[in-house]
């Protein structure tokens, strides 16, 4: 069982428990879906799916999703809405996660160079929480400097890992650009060669970061693209991940076949065979966002279309002009339909990534 050697078996896990969970995932060849959440509703949908499939889950907030959590009417010129929303979301997730009887990794998504004040603000909150509770508020963060020069990327990531290390906080970094567009970050026009990470870069990162802390993972580019695309339009090469692992093993002299914890970005629309091969090479986390946004919509869309004649006015429907419609337009009714369809799509991912029934 994935929770067999965890000190905390339900709720938000941190530190050594995250390391143990990812190590177990590599051993058993499964990956944990990382679900972008933007509200209590999407949090619930993801947690229900993981509970029902007896699986661990990663809940992550992007910079834009964090701002949405705070409210679109809040100014964000200095990342204040994103900081406040991420902290609020983290406390909410911590409050409810243990009710679902599964381990949850609380993570934040892509933080580009221009968004570093957002990461700084969250780590301020982590350190304050650590001082009071002996653990960081968030299990992990992602710093994404893949658009910058490699040396700057590694040096800056190392600086943040040094800050996270005393809290045993996990840090994910990216090398090699993920194409496409997501959450305001547009890489649709990048050179295709930038989508493929070189093994020398992986080793350089591993060597630098492992000297600081064991709590890190690498999102290596192997042709990944954000968004949904038709099969065949994107050339993924998950076999490159195996070459990265072999190169690091050779250079370090370790006995481990998969010394690096790898992450799969741009997972929406990928073939199941591509997931399976990537996971076999040490991928422990797969990001899912675009597919889930659409899944959430479908439940609400279908409800609205089906109940159209019952939501055109507060009173009056095909059953009578004096019939009340509150039970049809109550947000708890139609929002719930979105939760159901999103949850079903998360469950599908849990099966695809071999995460189901690992608890």
Which residues are catalytically annotated?
109
Q: Is residue 223 within 8 Å of residue 172, measured between CB atoms?
A: no
Q: Name which of 147, 177, 171, 176 is nearest 159 in CA terms.
A: 171
For residue 231, count other CB atoms closer than 10 A to its CB: 9
Pairing of strands 11-13, 103-108: parallel
For residue 200, count other CB atoms closer than 10 A to its CB: 12
Q: Name which of 36, 187, 60 is nearest 112 in CA terms.
A: 187
Residue with tokens 């650590």: 130
Q: Name which of 260, 262, 272 is nearest 222 in CA terms.
A: 262
Encoded tokens for 70: 């705070």
Q: Is residue 13 within 8 Å of residue 140, measured between CB atoms?
A: no
């Amino acid at each position: 069982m994935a929770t067999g050697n965890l000190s905390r078996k339900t709720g938000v896990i941190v530190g050594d428990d995250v390391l143990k969970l990812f190590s177990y995932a590599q051993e058993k060849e499964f990956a944990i879906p990382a679900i972008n959440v933007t509200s209590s509703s999407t949090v619930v949908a993801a947690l229900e799916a993981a509970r029902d499939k007896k699986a661990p889950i990663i809940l992550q907030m992007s910079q834009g999703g964090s701002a949405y959590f705070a409210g679109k009417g809040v100014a964000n010129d200095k990342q204040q809405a994103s900081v406040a929303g991420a902290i609020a979301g983290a406390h909410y997730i911590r409050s409810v996660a243990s009710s679902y009887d599964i381990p949850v990794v609380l993570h934040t998504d892509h933080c580009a160079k221009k968004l570093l004040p957002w990461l700084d603000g969250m780590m301020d909150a982590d350190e304050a929480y650590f001082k009071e509770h002996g653990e960081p508020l968030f299990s992990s963060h992602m710093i994404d400097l893949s658009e910058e020069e490699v040396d700057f990327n590694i040096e800056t990531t190392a600086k943040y890992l040094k800050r996270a290390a005393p809290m045993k906080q996990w840090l994910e970094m990216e090398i090699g650009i993920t194409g496409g567009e997501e959450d305001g970050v547009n890489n649709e026009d990048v050179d295709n060669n930038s989508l493929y990470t070189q093994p020398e870069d992986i080793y350089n990162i591993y060597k630098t970061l492992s000297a600081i802390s064991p709590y890190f993972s690498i999102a290596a580019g192997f042709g990944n693209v954000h968004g949904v695309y038709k099969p065949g339009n994107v050339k993924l090469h998950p076999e490159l991940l195996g070459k990265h692992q072999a190169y690091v093993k050779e250079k370090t002299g370790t006995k481990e076949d998969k010394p690096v914890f790898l992450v799969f970005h741009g997972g929406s629309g990928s073939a199941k065979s591509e997931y399976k091969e990537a996971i076999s090479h040490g991928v422990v986390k797969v990001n899912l966002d675009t597919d889930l946004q659409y899944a959430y919509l479908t439940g609400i869309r279908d409800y609205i279309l089906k109940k159209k004649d019952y939501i055109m006015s507060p009173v009056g429907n095909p059953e009578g002009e004096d019939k009340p419609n509150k039970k049809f337009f109550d947000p708890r009714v139609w929002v719930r339909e979105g939760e159901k369809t999103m949850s079903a799509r998360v469950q599908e991912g849990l099966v695809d990534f071999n995460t189901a029934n690992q608890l």
